Amino acid sequence: MSAAFTLDRIDRRILAALQADGRLTNQALSEQAALSPSACLARVRRLEREGAIQGYHARLDPFALDVGLVLFAEITLKGHAPEDLARFDAEIDALPQVVESSHVSGAYDYLLKVVVADMAEWTRIRERLTAEPIGADRINTHVLMRKPKIFVGYPVEIR
């Protein structure tokens, strides 16, 4: 989002409604936002253009897709120069099994969320990440046991 862009109360109402149900029709959304359909659509387009809305997605059950394991991997790299980070970023971007990646501060460099069919598939990916020139020095793996809370959206304060 550009530095000059700020969200007003109506923008926040639109964002909260779309985050709860990305399939809302413009008519239904305009009613919730108390706007005409054309004014509502113009706001949605502006929110998309400014990056406040980054996409529309269906939330899928990974186990319905034959995912056997969901893993969280703490990755510590050997090198920390910008080119080391860029090389690692490119490598994990090319792996469809890595569904989320966060460069973090603390005891390790990256936290990855990985979905695989089985431990053999994770072993192949782990070996690929530790091979040169990728340069993962240490990988700590946590297997998802259950998920008591699922991410459904960010808190949107309507001020």
Give the separation between CA 107 and CA 67, rounded to whole angstroms: 29
* CATH domain 62-143 topology: Alpha-Beta Plaits (3.30.70)
Question: What does the pLDDT read at residue 159?
Answer: 79
Residues of the chain with CATH 1.10.10.10: 9-50
Q: Is the pLDDT of residue 50 over 90?
A: yes
Residues of the chain with CATH 3.30.70.920: 62-143
Query: Who's near 73: CB < 8 A, 6+ residues apart?
Result: 110, 111, 112, 114, 126, 139, 140, 141, 142
* pTM across the whole model: 0.81
- Give the pLDDT confidence of 14-49 residue by residue, as tens digits: 999 999 999 999 999 999 999 999 999 999 999 999
* CATH domain 9-50 topology: Arc Repressor Mutant, subunit A (1.10.10)
- Give the pLDDT confidence of 63-109 residue by residue, as tens digits: 888 899 999 999 999 999 999 999 999 999 999 999 999 999 999 99
